[in-house]
Amino acid sequence: MERDIKKIVSEMTLEEKAGMCSGEDFWKLKAVERLGIPHVMVSDGPHGLRKQEEAADHLGINESIKAVCFPTACATASSWDVEMLEDMGKTLGEECQAENLSILLGPAVNIKRSPLCGRNFEYFSEDPYLTGKMASAHIKGVQSWDVGTSMKHFAVNNQEYNRMSSSSNLSERALREIYLPGFETAVKEAKPKTLMCSYNKINGTYAAENRYLLTEILREEWGFEGYVMTDWGAVNDRVEGIRAGLDLEMPASGGVNDARIVKAVRDGSLDETLLDKAVENILKVIFSYIDHRHPEAVFDRDADHRKAVEYAADCAVLLKNSGILPLESTKKIVYIGEYAEKPRFQGGGSSHINCSKVTSALESAEEKGRNVTYVKGFPADKDELDEEELQAAVKAARDADIVVIFAGLPDVIESEGYDRANMDLPICQNRTIAEVAKVQPNTVVVLHNGAPVETPWENDVAGILEMYLGGQGVGEACDRLLYGEVNPSGRLAETFPYRVQDNPSYLNFPGDGKNVNYGEDIFVGYRYYEAKKLPVRWAFGHGLSYTSFAYGNLRLSSSNMTDKATVTVSVDVTNTGEVFGKEVVQLYVADKNGTPQRPVKELKGFVKLSLAPGETKTAVMTLRARDLSFYHEELHDWYAPSGTYEILVGHASDDIRMNCELRFDTAKILPFEVTGATTIGELMNDPRTAQAMGEMITKMMQSLGASASGQEEAEGGSSMGFDPEKMQAMLYGMPIKSLASFGGGELDVDMLIRTFTQCLQTVSM
């Protein structure tokens, strides 16, 4: 049934319309019964249902229904598996239909600017391309069940410290290249039904009243058609919000802001059509849910738990393996660390799930009858060293063939609401790992954390398996990976620097509380480490496997590309080992034209292939002009200079296996206004002015050369020499206003401006 939403809006009173623009309570939208508008409920997300039936809160404090906690975004992003994430989204979508939820809040797609952000576990990556693809997969999956998502937090919310008021100050280029594309890709590819604006300001304006973001970019440029809601309590000036394109205030303002909207319409300061539009946006989404209910949907917690195990196994990243993994279960193995029996698998705050069931690695090992004993060694919830426990762990380690230490970050260290102070694991854990490794070379460390940690003991252990916050199935998944029932196939979605001080945002994080300046600009994550040639512990895209892969036959559908064309990149990958495995083929692009301020390379494609031993498959990825481009602030558009681009494919950002070149030609013309400050170099680099400028230089050089050699002769000595390259370097930086001084009265600046302006207008490229 097609609803006539505009007609419904026209029948609403001004008060009803204003009321529709804020919640009824913490989780529900208002109903207008006389017009058939029902209550609908929204709920956190993103990796499970935090549906609260009684006392409500936005920090995960009060009870919510029993639900299934799937891997958090730091883990799912590491799978680089869009099919897996779409499937997880579908599972969540069905759960929502069964639980009468119209919107599942999430996914959260903010960029990991600093490893210290307390909420990184809920975010996907330091890379916008990977972020956008993972977000799209999640959204498509959930929405396939006619349940909406609310992609959050729009935008530039990359820390918890003063997240509700601090201003994130950044260049338009960094905004467009790093912080928005995750949202942009998902809006265009997956059409989320709603978006949640963030609490913070962007360059001084609250997200909740930022017309540039909420209307110009989101709706006018990207074509977003759903509604925008606030983060809980993010409204500043409600009327300004309506003007900017903010539709729904959550949770509820107790009628105060509704009354402000009514008053503003009555006194003429708010155009009522803007209010009508907001109500229309909200009603469209409400009815798209109401008119597509699925009575067949069930929330089968046991079945979904089993899926949670499979998803978690697809996410884990094998960081190091000197041959110890997979473990031989006939060996005498000891598990150390309380996370072995109480895994940390989710973060604190609004995404906190009341789990239906949790499996631990220890429990799984016992169920499978593995030869494992357990020593607690250190606690899971605090940094407290118990000498006796430590000594018991060391003794057990000495007596065993192999040790697996289950380490991680306690809840108190990593949560929504505050940032971490450093990148350290608790001292008690670092000490235990170091002491155990001294007596037992066959030590494996399993990590349960939502963001990178420093691993000072890396060289002393034989294996490291990063489980991230892998959801309630993490223990069983870990068991399968440790013993080789599943081959690890995750790749890092973020760099692990050696030290937090190496991170590009270090000197500007988290700001002074009022402002945080994004001084590193576009050089976030690997874009920075590569440009600085800074060694890192594990690079972006890194992840090992129990098998090996060979790359061959890299080819492009065409070696030339223009603005509107696309080029496909294909490469054959073979599983050259003994066991089944999955390879994440990564595609990076590098600008080889000497363009200033460009990263060494950027991720622009990836495919996850499943390969039986000996099997070969072809990864096919598509490039568009946008993938070669940077955001040009003067052009206010994407721009890639004509020239050569290198196409790189491989296993990780630091393990490129093959490369080739692509020639690109653009018809885009950069804005160019000639003034006295325009340099000779700028005029030489533009094909329209190069000839005229070149002729002038030759003339000038001839006269300079003549007078220099004349002078030399007179002085009987030699000058610095007439090196054309040096001369060019000096000349190219000279503004044309200065040329007048050297032109012996022949060159007048106004004449030069006129001449070159005319060249720009008449010479064709």
Site for ligand BGC in 81-110 (CB under 6 A): 105
Residue of 541, 549, 565 whose CA lies nearest to 663: 565
Q: Does 47 bind ligand BGC (CB under 6 A)?
A: no
How many CA atoms does the CB half-sphere of 20 hold within 13 Å?
29
Q: Cβ 210 to ligand BGC, closest distance in Å? A: 17
Beta carbon nearer to ligand BGC, 254 or 745: 254
CA–CA dist 721, 706 (Å, integer): 13
- 706: tokens are 């003549």
Q: What is the rounded distance in angstroms from the CA atom of residue 175 to the CA atom of residue 154?
A: 12
DSSP 410-459: -TTTSBTTB--SSSPPPHHHHHHHHHHHHH-SSEEEEEE-SS----TTGG
Order of strands across the sheet with 549-556?
Answer: 549-556, 566-575, 616-624
Nearer Cβ to ligand BGC (152/370): 152
Closer by beta carbon to ligand BGC, 321 or else 354: 354
Residues contacting ligand BGC: total by CB under 6 A: 7
Give the largest Cα separation in the chain, rounded. 103
Q: Quote the CA–CA distance of 178 and 129 in Å, as a whole number.
A: 9
Instruction: For residue 198, count other CB atoms closer than 10 A to its CB.
Output: 25
Helices vs. strands in the chain: H and E counts, helices first: 22, 27
Query: Is 350 a binder of ligand BGC (CB under 6 A)?
Result: yes
In the complex with ligand BGC, the residue whose CB is nearer, 126 or 231, is 231
3 state DSSP class of 2: coil
| Closer CB to ligand BGC, 152 or 320, in the complex | 152
Nearer to ligand BGC, 350 or 359 (CB): 350
Which CB atom, from 157 or from 449, has the smaller least distance to ligand BGC?
A: 157
One-letter amino acid of 633: E
Give, to the nearest 10 degrees, the angle between helix 749-762 and helix 690-715. Answer: 140
Taking the complex as a whole, the smallest distance from the CB of residue 342 to ligand BGC amounts, in Å, to 25
Could you say which of 126, 209, 231, 494 contacts ligand BGC (CB under 6 A)? Answer: 231
- Whole-angstrom Cα distance, residue 38 to residue 132? 33
Are the beta carbons of 237 and 272 closer than 8 angstroms? Answer: no
Per-residue contact track with ligand BGC, 482 to 521, x per CB under 6 A? ----------------------------------------
Q: Give me the sign of the Cα torsion angle 57, 61, 62, 65.
A: positive
Name every residue whose Cβ is closer than 8 Å to that of residue 745 and which is 6 or more positions away in sequence: none
How many Å apart are CA 340 and CA 760, to the nearest integer?
A: 70
E strand or H helix at 188: helix 181-190
User: Per-residue contact track with ligand BGC, 140 to 179, x per CB under 6 A?
Assistant: ------------x---------------------------
Residue among 28, 44, 169, 418 that touches ligand BGC (CB under 6 A): 44
Q: How far is the CB of 50 from ligand BGC (least distance, A)?
A: 7
Asked whether 68 and 48 are in contact (CB, 8 A), the reply is yes
| Residue 275 CA neighbour count, 13 Å, CB half | 30
- Please give the backbone phi and psi of residue 336, each rounded to the nearest 5 degrees, phi first: -125, 145
> Among residues 105 and 336, whose Cβ is nearest to ligand BGC?
105
Please, which residue, 224 or 232, has the CB nearer to ligand BGC? 232
CA distance 18 to 259: 7
Compare residues 231 and 530 and give the one whose CB is closer to ligand BGC: 231
CA dist., res. 64 & res. 54, Å (int): 8
Known active-site residue 231: yes
Q: How many CB atoms lie within 10 A of CB 389?
A: 19
Minimum CB distance to ligand BGC, residue 147 (Å) = 15
Compute the least distance from the CB of residue 58 to ligand BGC, in Å: 3
**Backbone dihedral region for residue 514 (phi beyond 0: left; psi -120 to 50: alpha; all else: beta):** alpha
| Angle (deg, nearest 10), helices 256-266 and 272-290 | 130
Residue ranges in 105-124 that form contacts with ligand BGC under rule CB under 6 A: 105
Per the CB < 8 A criterion, the answer to whether 562 and 643 are in contact is: no
Assigned token pair, 187: 């809006």
Here the tokens at position 84 are: 């897996």
CB of 206 to ligand BGC, least distance (A): 15
The answer to whether residue 249 forms part of the interface with ligand BGC (CB under 6 A) is no
Residue 232 interacts with ligand BGC (CB under 6 A): yes or no: yes
Measured CA to CA, the distance from residue 88 to residue 308 in angstroms comes to: 8
State the residue for tokens 């899926």. Answer: 307
Based on the shown chain and the rule CB under 6 A, indicate whether residue 193 belongs to the binding site for ligand BGC. no
Distance of CA 459 to CAs 349, 454, 455, 456, Å? 35, 12, 9, 8
The active-site residue out of 231, 479, 502, 627 is 231
What residues between 54 and 73 interact with ligand BGC by CB under 6 A? 58
What part of residues 402-461 is at the interface with ligand BGC (CB under 6 A)? none
Of 285 and 446, nearer to ligand BGC (C-beta) is 285
CA quadruple 591, 595, 600, 605: dihedral positive or negative?
A: negative
Distance from C-alpha of 271 to C-alpha of 409, rounded to nearest angstrom: 51
Q: Which is nearer to ligand BGC, 118 or 245 (CB)?
A: 118
Query: Which residues neighbour 722 within 8 Å (Cβ) at sequence distance 6 or greater?
Result: 705, 708
Distance of closest approach, residue 235 Cβ to ligand BGC, in angstroms: 13
* Residues marked as catalytic: 231
Chain residues that interact with ligand BGC, rule: CB under 6 A? 44, 58, 105, 152, 231-232, 350
